[in-house]
Structure 1
Amino acid sequence: MVLAAVRVLPSLSSVAQSANAQFLSSSDPSIQAAQLAAPFQTRDPSGTAIIIASRDSGPLTDEDTAAIGREEQAAQRISEVTAVVDLGLSKDAKAAEALVTVAASALSSDAASLSVVNALRASFAKADAPAGLTFHLTGPLAAAVDGANTNAGNNITRFTLIFVIVLLFVVYRAALAPVITLIPAALAVALSGPLIAELAKSGVAVSSISQLLLVVLILGAGSDYGLFLSFRVREQLARGQEPREAVVTAVERVGAAITYSALTVAAALVALLLAPFGLYRGLGPALAIGIVVMLAASLTLTPALLAIFGRAAFWPTRPAASLQRVGLWGRVAERVVRRPVLTLVAGIVLFGAFSAGLIGYRTGGLSSSGPATSDSAIGAAVLAAHFPRATVGSEQLLLRFGSPVWDVPSVLTRTQAQLADTPAFQSVAGPLGAGSGSLTGDQLAGLHGTLGPAASLPPAPPSGSTVNPDLYAAYRASAQFISPDGKTIQYYAVPRAGAVGSAAAADAIPVARDALAAVAAAVGADAYGVAGQDAATSDINRASTASLELVIPVVLVVILVLLGLMLRSLVAPWYLALTVALSYLATLGFAMVVFVHLGGSDGLIFVLPLLLFVFSMALGADYNILLMSRIREEAHEASLPVALIRAIGITGGTITSAGIILAGTFAVLGLVGGSTQAQQLGFSVAFGVLLDTFFVRTLLVPSIAVLLGRWNWWPSALSKDERGSPPKARPGIAAT
């Protein structure tokens, strides 16, 4: 079935999208502004790239200029390229840039974007460049492709598998058990990708980050579920049961906990469908499918393999010798039971200290270049060195008029002058100051009458032309600023609030929109808008914040309901959810300290707060479910303090191993994910899982459970059992 699905269904990489702006809705201001830019073939701010040519040894030569012209012609012949506009020379005459725009089809998937970027870079060879002249491709499109790191998915799969395999062998100390645990997870990964790709064909946008998270989530969660089941089978074998009987008992005792754990994760992910931001709506169902497939494999294939191999699965160790006693975690539980108040206070202080890192919390902008060693990053550095006010990535200011500006050229003069005087902008580039020369409104209108549309002109003046070459170049470059019908003007503005792509620049977009509105009213424009990277970032941050405010309450309710059904209690779910929420705040604070306060980042990536919350609440609930279900099981035979010590002593090794594996898989995402998003998300979730594993489970949850006593289980029948009452003194309590 898996092989058939892989062969018949589309691959996940063929439908994934790496451009975040594609997940905005048509009602968002930046998208509406991008629609105003349709005459310039820049419907999407991510659909532009910059060819930058430079010579370090001195000014560009005539041979260099000819080679640059050949490159522009080669780029124009690429089918997905809709326009190549020469933007002229830098002031030091050592570099030249050209703006490339691509068709919407080139943005439909990562594979399509990669194809056009590779074609553009391959065209550099056709320029027959003289020695010393170098070409680079930078800008939003190139940066998105380089940042997506098309090899990252394979690297993450490879390194995650290696990490999980090594750790499983260390944990099990057996030859077959690790393989039995991994086979269902590997099959779930192989099957989930095509299923999600088929979902995308129905119109659900799937982000490229889904590919990275899917592998990590399934291998991590699948290893956890396999550990929970295998360790319980080993425990039952140690108690003298036959292999098949041990598997049946394990599924009866642990199967419900695994099911509720998986359903908690899946339900939290499905709740992302409510998010206004399209990225989350596509990410949630995609990952939920992976978890459901993993659950099915864990409850069918894993038990079958354990039943087939029996005791041989744990060879060369002997299950009878591995029967858990109190052990390290049992001794920790004894200390918690003796001093629950002190333990609880210490835990709250610890988590509060981590949460203090949230002071100065902010999310950052979107990077305008790829990884440091990528061609787009090198090109961005060259561009910044020679064109300090480069157009790439700048804010696009668009105004639409009712009639062509050629008819009233003074509109051009007044508009550009008023924008230049606006405090919100450090500089403004427009049709009267493009290329290596400058024009007046009257000159531009006159050249239009003489030469025709600027976009159709060749790089050099036609033979016999009497137009000044500098004016010709300036007029030809104006094609990027004035639409062919003359009714739409586009300006590139450098924000005063901060560098393009910074959090400050994105935060200042509302000010830029207000400033443009005032200018539009003064010059009589019918429509206006701010497009570009910062505008998209502003809308993305707003949509992401709105998603956070909407999804968090839903996820909390879902988790409370599932925990209540699992534990048959109306009390325990509240403090379990509260402890995981505290862990979330501590993790987010730690991320701020590491990546912003110490790491120097502009802010946390916009996806981190919501995805970290979903993963922290859902994955953190896994260990609480396993622990509390075991405490409840033991509480039928002993007082709550004794049941708690037994449960922690027996499950401690299992949960610790599962937590380390799950945290490790997300750490691998952070190490080899190839993007800032993957790095911050991977390390933050890994840290959060470790907090849940070593502190929430060992300090907060047990101390609260001891203090509540039998009220943990209210209103179930177990809450009426006096053995569950809190201890009246602090005697040493030994597990029996």
Structure 2
Amino acid sequence: MFEALARFAVRFRWLIVVAWVAGVAGAVVGLPSLSSVIQTNNAQFLSASAPSRQAADLAAPFQGASPAATAIIVASRTDGPLTAADDAAFSRVLLAAATITDVTSVRDQGTSADGQAHRALIVTVPNGPGNAPNARLVTAVRDTFAAASAPAGLTFHLTGPLAQTADADTASTQTGDNIRKFTLLFVIVLLFVVYRSLLAPLVTLIPPVLALLLAGPVIGQAGQAGLPVSPAIQQLLVVLLLGAGTDYGLFLVFRMREEIRRGRQPREALIAAMGRVGESITFSAITVIAALACLAAASFGLYRGLGPGLAIALAVMLLAALTLLPALLAIAGRALFWPTRPAAGQQSIGMWGRIAAGAIRRPIPVLVAGVLLFGGLTAGLNGFTTSGFTSSSPATASDSAAGSAVVAIHFPSPTSNGEILLFRFADPVWHNPDALQQAHQRLLTAAPVSALTGPLNPNGTTITAADITRLYASLGPTGSLPPTPPAGITPSLYQTYRATAQFISPDGRTARFDAIPAAGPAGSRAAIDAIPTLRTTVADIATAVAATDSGVAGVDATAYDIYTTSTNDLARLIPIVLLVIAILLAVLLRSLIAPIYLIVTVGLSYLAALGFASIVFVHHGHSDGLNFIIPILLFIFAMALGEDYNILLMARVREEAHRYPLHEALTRAVARTGGTITAAGLILAGTFTVLAIAGNNTQAHQLGYTVAFAVVLDTFFVRTLLVPASAVLLGRYNWWPSTLSRTRTTDTPPTSPQHGPPSPPHARRARL
């Protein structure tokens, strides 16, 4: 089949190239871009049944239907209290912001207790998948600051989830551009070194580059159709397609060169190479695609979108590898290798054959050494923990970061970095002040809470529930009150009452309290682990004060739900991925035995890489833990990409085993594929290293270095030493139950490794 596909590509080579270029151009113009559908808030990927999402629904009167669609305008003065002119400028900004499309409400949240800062909440309409519309809205709000004619010394900032997401998205886009440029540069340089040719690196790179340009809009279309798209896709897409696509090019070009050295003409060599390597490339890609597609069964939306999204990209890459790459190789011909000239009879076996022969002669010591090495690295998993559950913060130079700093200085700390405790009552709290007072007192003395801000101390100044009831009766709801107090009410009491708007819903039935957890700082592992206790405490208080519903929202509550969901997904998906990979390996190798040790050896490298990352980043790097996305993505990449090289090696071993004893077949297979696998592994590891270096957050650093280390382990130890040693110990049982397992020559010991070119066809027939 693959030879027929190669003949088709050779015959219609120019038409295939034109079709790919036209298809990519049409997709870029006609389909949505990938960046337009990216969602950067991890909380958006939780299911609606998650307790933090249900609590966010309770908090909707304060922050709209979606917490991510809210922003905070903060105006402050550092040289003293706000003036009347400052108040007027702040009012002008609020009026202008309310007229912006998709802004549903602007709520004045009052003045800080020190009188130096104003704060207002903007609630907007969620704009569906992606952050591009939100970025335009954030820019429009910030434009109102310049038009407000603010007095000298008054500064405006826009912060909150919406602004932070927009700023983070801008930083992520810039980082993505850097990753693309540096990855492409790295791959080009390494390909020139590997090929020692001017044209081969460019021909090898064209298919993955076009696949990358096509995959982005295709995933963007899927995102508009409902696929959750995270920033991780944008960064991993570049690394994965350039790395894997270059690997597929290496597999085919190196085999084509080998066939030329056997005496074939370039196009005949290409057809023969596709006949041998096409199946390996296809199964390699399908293995990774299938493993990634398994993530569609995840509960966590980030995984559920990341896996299928990258699977779509690799499917595009496979199509390019099987059509566009052979067409380009057919066009290039022998010029592909210039200035080198591969010719019939050239030697192509060297160092890797000798290394394989050594592992085959001493398989047990090699396996013992491998187990000790990997076991020592795996010991780093002692005390293993995860972190990074919340969205990455924007760069410190961003406007949202500056606004968050102002809020932290002038407003009570629980309102800026605490947990949100919510109580829903049957009647408005203005008519039931005792329930509000009791809830406040019980929370103040609750063990999981160290600091509390709520309706009775909204801006740091205390107000009683009775005062709230009295002022409501005389002044009405807080949302419509002007900044200036009426006669007969002290300014301090009036401003405190106005500030209760952020803690009592407009209908008066929902009360909000912001709390600092006693277990540790917000976002710490201790605070996250204390969420179940805090939820139990809030539920008990809700029962005591006759609230009809209650919940805990906020950073730690969301982090805890992400942790439990992602951990459950990891435990549930690992067996599924292993089963899928085992089935594919069994089909390719026609064996039920070989997949077992192939999976076990790659599994050892996975655990070793995870342990190594824990040693580097947690035990010595003093991180709170490895980013929660690393265990599952490392597993997918280590197992699926690791099996890529297993497939290339073992398919070649099986091919050689039909002609030579198993010992010699292993030596020849490692010798023939060693250079290819090494080059492919270095390129793939290098692309992930670029991700680690060019990435702008801890997640990218940890993921890039960890996957790169896993690929290096797999390339230089698993494929070169552990797999040949395991195979030689099993002998003919490698191929059970296929007919090859019953061939006597598979158990014949070698006299010496053969390092010359393969025997001519008539000699091979005679040997058989």
- Shorter-chain TM band: over 0.9
Report SS of the residue matched to 2:386. coil
Separation of aligned partners in 2, 1:339 and 1:56: 75
Structure 2 counterparts to residues 659-698 of structure 1, below 5 A: 659-698=681-720
Offset, 1:475 = 1.1
The structure 1 residue matched to 2:505, chosen from 466, 483, 488, is 483
Query: Is the aligned partner of 1:172 residue 2:165?
Result: no
Query: Is the aligned partner of 1:428 residue 2:452?
Result: yes
The structure 2 residue matched to 1:114, chosen from 135, 141, 160, is 135
Separation of aligned partners in 1, 2:589 and 2:27: 37
User: Which moved further from structure 2: 266-275 or 446-455?
Assistant: 446-455
User: Which moved further from structure 2: 450-459 or 366-375?
Assistant: 366-375
Offset, 1:649 = 1.6
Aligned to 1:376: 400
User: Which moved further from structure 2: 151-160 or 417-426?
Assistant: 151-160
Query: Is the aligned partner of 1:267 residue 2:290?
Result: yes
Mark the runs of 5 or more structure 1 residues left unpaired by the alignment: none
Query: What per-residue deviation string (whole Å, max 9, x for no partner) do you get for residues 101-144 of structure 1?
Result: 43242464221232233333333323444555444433333333
The structure 2 residue matched to 1:291, chosen from 314, 323, 334, is 314
Aligned to 1:141: 162
Q: Which amino acid aligns with 2:523?
A: G
Offset, 1:423 = 0.7
Separation of aligned partners in 2, 1:319 and 1:466: 97
Alignment CA distance shift 1:107-1:47 (3 Å) = farther
Q: Which amino acid aligns with 2:630?
A: L
Report SS of the residue matched to 2:117. strand
Offset, 1:391 = 1.2
Structure 2 counterparts to residues 88-237 of structure 1, below 5 A: 88=110, 96=117, 98-106=119-127, 108-148=129-169, 149-237=172-260
Q: Which amino acid aligns with 1:123?
A: T
Report SS of the residue matched to 2:430. coil
The structure 1 residue matched to 2:378, chosen from 341, 345, 355, is 355
Alignment CA distance shift 1:400-1:188 (3 Å) = same
Mark the runs of 5 or more structure 2 residues left unpaired by the alignment: 1-22, 757-768
Separation of aligned partners in 2, 1:203 and 1:106: 13
Alignment CA distance shift 1:107-1:118 (3 Å) = farther
Separation of aligned partners in 2, 1:42 and 1:324: 71
Report SS of the residue matched to 1:493. strand
Structure 2 counterparts to residues 160-559 of structure 1, below 5 A: 160-320=183-343, 323=346, 325-364=348-387, 365-366=389-390, 369-387=393-411, 389-461=413-485, 464-559=486-581
Offset, 1:648 = 1.4
User: Which moved further from structure 2: 216-225 or 386-395?
Assistant: 386-395
Identity of aligned residues (%): 56
Offset, 1:478 = 0.7
Separation of aligned partners in 1, 2:123 and 2:702: 31
Aligned to 2:766: none
Alignment CA distance shift 1:394-1:627 (3 Å) = same
User: Which moved further from structure 2: 366-375 or 176-185?
Assistant: 366-375
Query: Is the aligned partner of 1:642 residue 2:664?
Result: yes
Report SS of the residue matched to 2:299. coil
Contact 1:42 1:101 in 2 (8 A): no
Contact 2:411 2:460 in 1 (8 A): no
Aligned to 2:48: 26
Alignment CA distance shift 1:592-1:142 (3 Å) = farther
Q: Which amino acid aligns with 2:645?
A: Y
Alignment CA distance shift 1:476-1:57 (3 Å) = closer
Contact 2:263 2:344 in 1 (8 A): no
Alignment CA distance shift 1:139-1:361 (3 Å) = farther
Offset, 1:650 = 1.7
Alignment CA distance shift 1:612-1:173 (3 Å) = same
Report SS of the residue matched to 2:416. coil
Report SS of the residue matched to 1:232. helix
User: Which moved further from structure 2: 158-167 or 309-318?
Assistant: 158-167
**How many matched pairs?**
731
Alignment CA distance shift 1:107-1:489 (3 Å) = farther
Separation of aligned partners in 1, 2:717 and 2:26: 44
- Under a length normalisation based on structure 2, what TM-score does the superposition of the two structures give? 0.90
Structure 2 counterparts to residues 622-641 of structure 1, below 5 A: 622-641=644-663
Report SS of the residue matched to 1:392. helix
Separation of aligned partners in 1, 2:273 and 2:311: 25
Query: What per-residue deviation string (whole Å, max 9, x for no partner) do you get for residues 315-342 of structure 1?
Result: 1111139955332222221221222111
Contact 2:55 2:550 in 1 (8 A): yes
Report SS of the residue matched to 2:119. strand
Report SS of the residue matched to 2:626. coil
Offset, 1:81 = 3.6
Q: Which amino acid aligns with 1:156?
A: I
Offset, 1:71 = 4.2
Contact 1:401 1:487 in 2 (8 A): yes
Separation of aligned partners in 1, 2:588 and 2:611: 31
Alignment CA distance shift 1:314-1:377 (3 Å) = same
User: Which moved further from structure 2: 84-93 or 679-688?
Assistant: 84-93
Query: What per-residue deviation string (whole Å, max 9, x for no partner) do you get for residues 632-674 of structure 1?
Result: 1122222222222221122111111111111122222222232
User: Which moved further from structure 2: 39-48 or 53-62?
Assistant: 53-62
Offset, 1:378 = 4.2
User: Which moved further from structure 2: 676-685 or 557-566?
Assistant: 676-685
Separation of aligned partners in 2, 1:128 and 1:434: 29
Separation of aligned partners in 1, 2:235 and 2:415: 32
Separation of aligned partners in 2, 1:595 and 1:55: 41
Offset, 1:314 = 0.9
Q: Which amino acid aligns with 1:350?
A: L
- Under a length normalisation based on structure 1, what TM-score does the superposition of the two structures give? 0.94
Q: Which amino acid aligns with 2:640?
A: A
Query: What per-residue deviation string (whole Å, max 9, x for no partner) do you get for residues 150-175 of structure 1?
Result: 22332222222222122212211111
Separation of aligned partners in 2, 1:219 and 1:510: 43
Alignment CA distance shift 1:97-1:406 (3 Å) = same
Separation of aligned partners in 2, 1:699 and 1:355: 19
Aligned to 2:596: 574
Q: Which amino acid aligns with 2:480?
A: S
Query: What per-residue deviation string (whole Å, max 9, x for no partner) do you get for residues 172-217 of structure 1?
Result: 1111111111111111112112222222333222223222222221
Query: What per-residue deviation string (whole Å, max 9, x for no partner) do you get for residues 359-389 of structure 1?
Result: 1111114257323443434444454455561
Contact 1:87 1:435 in 2 (8 A): no
Report SS of the residue matched to 1:489. strand
Q: Which amino acid aligns with 1:443?
A: D
User: Which moved further from structure 2: 625-634 or 54-63?
Assistant: 54-63
User: Which moved further from structure 2: 119-128 or 268-277?
Assistant: 119-128
CA-atom RMSD in angstroms: 2.3
Offset, 1:411 = 1.4
User: Which moved further from structure 2: 650-659 or 495-504?
Assistant: 495-504
